[in-house]
Amino acid sequence: MPTRPRLTRPPRVLVASDQRHALRDLEGALGRQGFSVLRVFAGAAVLERAHSACPDVILLDATLADCEGLELSRRLRADPLIGASTPILLLVTNRPNRQEHLGALRAGVWELVRQPVDPGPLIAKLDAYVTVKAGTERAPDRSLVDELTGLYTRRGLARRAGELMLQAVHHNMSIACVVVAPEGRGEEQGGVNLLRDVARQLHGAARRSDAVGRVGMTEFAVVAPGANRQGARRLAQRLQLALRQSANGDGRGGGGGGLVIELRAGYEAVRQRGADALEPRKLLADATRALELARAEGKWLRQGGRVTAPLQ
């Protein structure tokens, strides 16, 4: 079990379940281990309590009578006061299949926990999650967010990728990283306006569960949990189409002044079986190297030794 970081208060666990007695043993065990347990019995109260209490971990019952668990997780993830780094675990009764794992991953659920709950292993997991969250909150915001674009910096994206890779392991899913570089040609080269427009387009084209960052002067990366190599290629194509549509005259971004935006991209995808294999910086580095190879070979998309032809 990892050493729990020093906190100014006991770590808070928000438990949302309408089963009044089924989790009583878990609540008692959490209390004996120094956790502060905040209990709500309906989905409607979760957002309000999460706002007021700022929990370190959230446990949601998938069978809440008034709200579907995955939808509640999506609403929590969309709330800036909860953010992406608050662990959300979903309590389920049956063994989940692949599609259920994928749906949970896309909804921002870090892990599925089967009931009845064994308090010992779950508490060990919660200790690990509290450690991860505390480490994220200690890092200065300015080192994690790019001032120009509002996206993650390379450091921030690597940290977020580590969280997403951990989730992918728990759901037995792959994870992909696509690194792209826009190239402008025409009457102007875009400069800062081009970078801001590209950032906006990439953020809009990515899924809500993806993480997007600026990882170089003109390089951007998207980390996509649940995506394999085929999914990474589709993501790269979607990003390219988004930039082309913007350049063809949405009237707001880098397409003005005769500027034509093309995209080069590199990607990598991995499927890992254990937390010991997590290397978020290597995933970013491998995708970046694929982009460099694409540039050197004059291709638009590259992964390892494989080359993909440009879109027609």
| Contact in structure between 88 and 58 (CB atoms under 8 Å) | yes
Q: Is 258 helix (H, G, I), strand (E, B) or coil?
A: helix
What is the model's pLDDT at position 252? 45
pLDDT at 247: 67
Lookup: tokens for 125 = 């997991």
**Structure token pair of residue 110:** 């870090």
Contact 143, 246 (CB under 8 A): no
**pLDDT at residue number 255:** 46
Run of H or E including 181: strand 174-185
pLDDT score, position 272? 67
Question: DSSP states of 124-155 as a string?
Answer: HHHHHHHHHHHHHHHS-GGGTB-TTTSSB-HH
Print pLDDT tens along the chain (312 aa): 445 555 667 899 999 988 877 788 889 999 999 999 999 888 888 988 998 888 999 999 988 877 888 999 999 988 877 878 889 999 998 999 999 999 999 999 999 999 888 999 999 989 888 887 776 666 556 688 999 999 999 999 998 998 899 889 889 999 999 999 988 654 445 578 888 888 999 999 999 899 999 999 999 999 999 999 999 999 999 999 888 887 665 444 444 444 556 889 999 998 866 544 568 889 999 999 999 999 999 899 998 655 555 544
Task: Give the pLDDT score at 275.
Answer: 46
- Which tokens is 192 given? 């800062």
Helix pair 69-78, 98-106: axis angle to 10 deg: 30
Given this model, what pLDDT does residue 204 score?
92
For position 253, what pLDDT does the model report? 45
The residues with which 43 forms a beta bridge, in sequence order, are: none
CB half-sphere exposure, 291, CA atoms < 13 A:
25
Q: List the alpha helices (DSSP H) in the chain.
A: 24-32, 46-53, 69-78, 98-106, 119-138, 154-170, 191-205, 229-247, 280-297
Check residue 224 and give its pLDDT: 96
CA–CA distance, 304 with 5 (Å, rounded to integer)? 39
User: Residue 265's closest CA among 292, 296, 227?
Assistant: 292
